[in-house]
Structure formats: C-alpha cells, structure tokens
Structure 1
C-alpha cells in the first residue's frame, strides 16, 4: 500500500499539496453537495405549488441522480484515500485544532455517505413506487427496506426525517469547513487552503 504523501509543493512554498486526483474528488463532490442542498431546499416547497410542480418533478429526478453520484464518488474517494496519505497539517496548529480538523473530515465523509443512502432508502420505501432513472439512462434499483408488515408511508417518513436532519447537518458543517479554510488563508497565512485549490503550483499527478 502506498502511504507516501503528495510530493508537489505550492507556489508559495507552503509544503506539499494534495494530489490532482484528491483535488478533483474534493471539488467535484463539493459542487455536487452545494447543488443538492440548494435543489433540495427549492423542490420541497415547489412540489406543493401547482405552477411549479412539473419542474419540481424533473428536479427531483436530477436530485436523486446527483445524490447517487455523490455516494459513488465518496466511495471511490475513500477507496483511493486508503492508499494515499494526505499532506500533514501545519506545524503551528494546536492539538485541539488538529482534532477538530480530523473530526470535521470524518464527519464530512460520513455525511456524504449517509445522506444519499437515506435518500435512496426513502425513495425505496415510498408508497408511490416512483422509479429513479439517473439522467434518463437506466432504472436504479430500490433498496429492500420494507418488511411484510411495514407501513410504507411510516417507513418513508422515518427515512425522510433522517435525510433532512443530516442534510441540514451537512450544510452547517460545510459552512464551518469554509470558515475554517478562510481563517487559515486570511488570518494564519499558512497556505492550507492553497494545497486544495485546483490551480497553483505543483499538484502531484497520482
């Protein structure tokens, strides 16, 4: 297993950058998550408006498709991460800051898995039985979440509550994550943000 950190350096000389693939995973998932938060917030209100309902149904399908993309990309990112150690945190960071940084990353990984999984389970339990057809290409299978005696509406409501609570938690964590990155960039000037930017000096290609 390759556990060597990325060998590139930032143009400002702040030490090793994340690899090109890690950067691609990070920003692709980040953009998708922001889009999912925005679309989820919009469509839950629009679906009850007769004038916007048809568009809302289309947005629901895209929301489900991109949610599955986040799930699959996160699994791929975790698999790749197992063999590639990230660059070390800046030496000036206190133990509590290091703990917070690691805890936030673990929570982000967990949420980008749990939120789409709960959404998938919610759709699978729905008494409407609507199919999920990612980008109109093929029908995605439902999860076997219903037992013989289960009430589909009750099971769906439970998964929906979990999906919404964790989605709001993810949104809050994203805000904290961005705030921490900006603090490192504008207050600490330690180059931490620059290591994950898709432009700049010397990202490793592995």
Structure 2
C-alpha cells in the first residue's frame, strides 16, 4: 500500500513557496552588493514584492494546514525524527512569516513605500524612524541567515530520507509517484 501523501494544494503551495524563497535568497545576496542606482532599486522592489507574496503564501499554507492536516509519518520514521520534524516545520513556517514581516516593517520605518508589483500600495505599519529601521534591518539580516540554516537542515533531512533511507518521505510532497 502506498504511503499517504500531502494533498495537491499543499504540494503546490510548498513548491511555489520553495522556489520563491530560493529566488529571494539569491536576489537578497546579489542585490546587497550592487552599487546605488536603478538596478539596485529594481532588485529591492522585486525582493519586497516576492517577499510579500511569500508571506501571503505562508498564511495560505497555514490555513490549508489547519483545514487539512499533514498525512501521518511513515512507520520507518524513527522516534527522534517524529519529535524533531514538527519543530523543523514550525521553525520554517515561523521564519517564512517573520522574515517578510520584518522586511515590511523595515521598509515602513525607513519611509520607503512598497507598491506590490506596482499595483497596490502596501500600508505602512510603523512611522518613519531611522533607529527602528536600523534595528529591523539587522533583524531581517539575521533572520535571513537563520532561514538559510534551517532550510539547509530541511534539505539535508530530505536527502537523508530520499537518497539514504529511501523511506518515501520525499514522495509525500512531490508531484509524481517517483
């Protein structure tokens, strides 16, 4: 009998979010090294747009997860993995909320309006305050590195399960039955 899988909506939200986050990490690392100018401003705008999209996707994922809980873990998963897996997912989802929110608040505190994909002005949640901006920029920076670390652990766990143990964990979230 095949192991239970995540529903298609959960898989789609996961992979769209994953691609967006990987793009954001690359864009974030690249854009900070650009000289001041139009390309840097455009890169920051795209980073903010995609970041807010990740925030919306993460809220959708949490709502979907509440409505449709994940399938049970396969019997081959060890007791310590059963204890650790939910905490890893909570850390990822928490960071996928905290990181875009810190960026949004940072832009607000810096007095930089965000126009989501140039279509809709995103409201500011805090008044312009350069001291707060500096604090939020530091927070955003460290949250990004923490996300990279947690994401690396997540990917390492997937590789361990799929390549080394071949226990079906990856198939639960992948589109085909491979």
Question: Which among 157, 163, 176 is matched to residue 140 of structure 2?
Answer: 163
Aligned to 2:120: 138
The answer for the alignment partner of 1:191 in structure 2 is 168
Instruction: Look up the SS of the partner of 1:90 in the other structure.
Output: coil
For residues 118-141 of structure 1, what are the alpha-carbon distances to aligned partners after superposition, in whole Å with 9 as ceiling and x for unaligned?
000000000xx2221121112111
CA distance in 2, matches of 1:120, 1:14: 43
What SS class does the counterpart of residue 174 from structure 2 fall into? coil
Q: Give the match for residue 38 of structure 1.
A: 26
Q: Does 1:113 align with 2:90?
A: no
Shift of 1:200: 2.6
Unaligned runs of 5+ in 2: none
Superposition TM-score, scaled by structure 1 size? 0.82
Higher relative contact order (CA 8 A, sep 6+): 1
- Paired position in structure 1 for 2:84: 100
CA contact (8 A) 1:185 1:193 kept: yes
RMSD across aligned C-alpha pairs, in angstroms?
A: 1.4
The structure richer in helix per residue is: 2
Matched positions, count: 178
CA distance in 2, matches of 1:165, 1:18: 31
SS in 2 for 1:136: coil
Structure 1 CA distance for aligned equivalents of residues 4 and 158 of structure 2 = 17
Secondary structure of 1:82 counterpart: helix
Distance 1:36 1:187 in 2: 29
Give, in whole Å, the separation in 2 of the partners of 1:198 and 1:65. Answer: 27
Instruction: Name the CA distance, whole Å, in 2 between partners of 1:130 and 1:109.
Output: 26
Residue 28, structure 1, aligned to residue 16, structure 2: yes
**Per-residue CA distance 1:80-123 (angstroms, 9 max, x = gap):** 11121211112122221111111100001100000000000000
* 1:177 Cα deviation after fit: 0.6
Structure 2 counterpart SS, 1:139:
strand
User: Structure 1: how far apart are the matches of 2:19 and 2:41?
Assistant: 22
